[in-house]
């Protein structure tokens, strides 16, 4: 079993949403509930930018800068996130917030929501397509989390953490539609809570197990094919980056831990799992 090692110090309360920025050669991630985006260099140095009350997810924007999911909707930011342009909120209920997302190959940005009190079915998944208003595309979601696509773009993988599984959808790239939802892999509660995910160049699905101290690799048929040990209890998400996209970056959380219980919790961890990832698709709006 491969064991991940810290790249950064414990820089996050609740690190999430890592994405490799090939333009700058650095990792971007969010410290979600502090409303910050962090840029981590390959030497472990960290630059922090405050973008709002919640920083849920972000992706590079093809025209420059970033698209972000913030507390109750979307926003655009410049390259260094010193200027933020929020779009109108998508809902009024302040107990519901955005949580995680990603872009498809055609440049649509998807992000899902959850209720802070965990009430079932209060969340949705939204699609921000270039040149269009945001639309809800999946409802009755409880804890919307990881989202990624197969290398050919025809299958989407999705986690609603409350279901304790990864689901697969058929994906219509022309329309941006998710259909034919079915379970792909079940996670035993004793093994942790399924959280963020990424897909490698061979089609493997890498899943962070919150409260499980590991990142697992599943094959497209749902078979468990490998595991990376993370020496803190709560990995949250993962992505590939670095030279040749061969480094797996893993974000972690210290949320709810007693002081001093896990000193490295909240760090970004890295390992070389022996497979390359896929480049992050940019938002094309």
Mean pLDDT of 98-121: 97
- Average pLDDT value for the chain: 97
Q: What confidence score (pLDDT) does residue 260 get?
A: 87
* 182 φ/ψ angles, rounded to the nearest 5 degrees: -150, 150
Q: Is the pLDDT of residue 1 over 80?
A: no
Q: Transcribe the chain into DSSP letters.
A: -EE-EESS-S--SBEEEEEEETTTTEEEEEEGGGTEEEEE-TTS-EEEEE-SS-EEEEEEBTTSSEEEEETTEEEEE-TTSSSEEEPPPS-S-TTEEEEEEEE-TTS-EEEEEEETT--TT-EEEEEE-TTS--EEEEEEESBEEEEEE-TTSSEEEEEEGGGSEEEEEEEETTTTEEEEEEEEEE--GGG-EEEEEEEBTTS-EEEEEETTTEEEEE-TTS-EEEEEE-SSS-EEEEEEESGGG-EEEEEEB-TTPPTTS-TTTT--EEE--SS-B-PPPPB--
Mean pLDDT of 94-99: 97
The pLDDT-based confidence of 82 (bands split at 50, 70, 90) is very high
Q: Is the pLDDT of residue 239 over 90?
A: yes
Q: What confidence score (pLDDT) does residue 157 get?
A: 98
Q: What confidence score (pLDDT) does residue 232 get?
A: 98
The pLDDT-based confidence of 69 (bands split at 50, 70, 90) is very high
pLDDT digits 0-9 by tens, 2-52: 999 999 999 999 999 999 999 999 999 999 999 999 999 999 999 999 999
CATH homologous superfamily of domain 2-271? TolB, C-terminal domain (2.120.10.30)
Mean pLDDT of 102-117: 97
User: Cα dihedral sign for 193, 194, 196, 200?
Assistant: positive
The pLDDT-based confidence of 114 (bands split at 50, 70, 90) is very high
pTM of the predicted model, to two decimals? Answer: 0.98
Q: What confidence score (pLDDT) does residue 273 get?
A: 97
Q: Measure CA of the first residue to CA of the last residue in the chain; give whole Å.
A: 41
The span from the CA of 271 to the CA of 28, in Å, is: 17
Q: What confidence score (pLDDT) does residue 259 get?
A: 87
Mean pLDDT of 85-111: 97
Q: What confidence score (pLDDT) does residue 171 get?
A: 98
Mean pLDDT of 160-175: 98
């Amino acid at each position: 079993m491969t064991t991940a090692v810290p790249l950064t110090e414990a820089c996050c309360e609740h690190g999430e949403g890592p994405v490799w920025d090939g333009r700058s050669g650095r990792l971007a991630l969010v410290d979600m509930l502090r409303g910050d985006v962090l840029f981590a260099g390959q030497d472990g140095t960290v630059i922090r930018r405050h973008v709002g009350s919640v920083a849920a997810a972000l992706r590079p924007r093809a025209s420059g800068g970033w698209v972000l999911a913030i507390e109750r909707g979307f926003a655009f930011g410049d390259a260094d996130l010193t200027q933020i342009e929020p779009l109108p909120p998508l809902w009024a209920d302040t107990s519901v917030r955005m949580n995680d997302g990603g872009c498809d190959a055609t440049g649509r940005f998807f992000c899902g929501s959850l209720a802070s009190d965990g009430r079932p079915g209060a969340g949705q998944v939204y699609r921000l397509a270039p040149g269009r208003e945001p639309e809800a595309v999946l409802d009755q979601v409880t804890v919307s989390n990881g989202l990624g696509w197969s290398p050919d773009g025809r299958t989407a993988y999705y986690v609603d953490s409350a279901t304790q599984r990864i689901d697969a959808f058929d994906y219509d790239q022309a329309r941006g539609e998710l259909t034919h939802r079915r379970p792909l892999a079940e996670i035993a509660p004793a093994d942790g809570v399924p959280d963020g995910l990424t897909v490698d160049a061979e089609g493997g699905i890498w899943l962070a197990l919150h409260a499980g101290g590991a990142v697992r690799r599943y094959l497209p048929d749902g078979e468990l094919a490998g595991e990376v040990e993370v020496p803190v209890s709560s990995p949250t998400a993962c992505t590939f980056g670095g030279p040749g996209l061969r480094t797996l970056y893993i974000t972690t959380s210290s949320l709810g831990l007693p002081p001093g219980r896990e000193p490295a919790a909240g760090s970004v961890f890295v390992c070389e799992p022996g497979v390359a990832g896929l480049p992050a698709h940019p938002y094309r709006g």
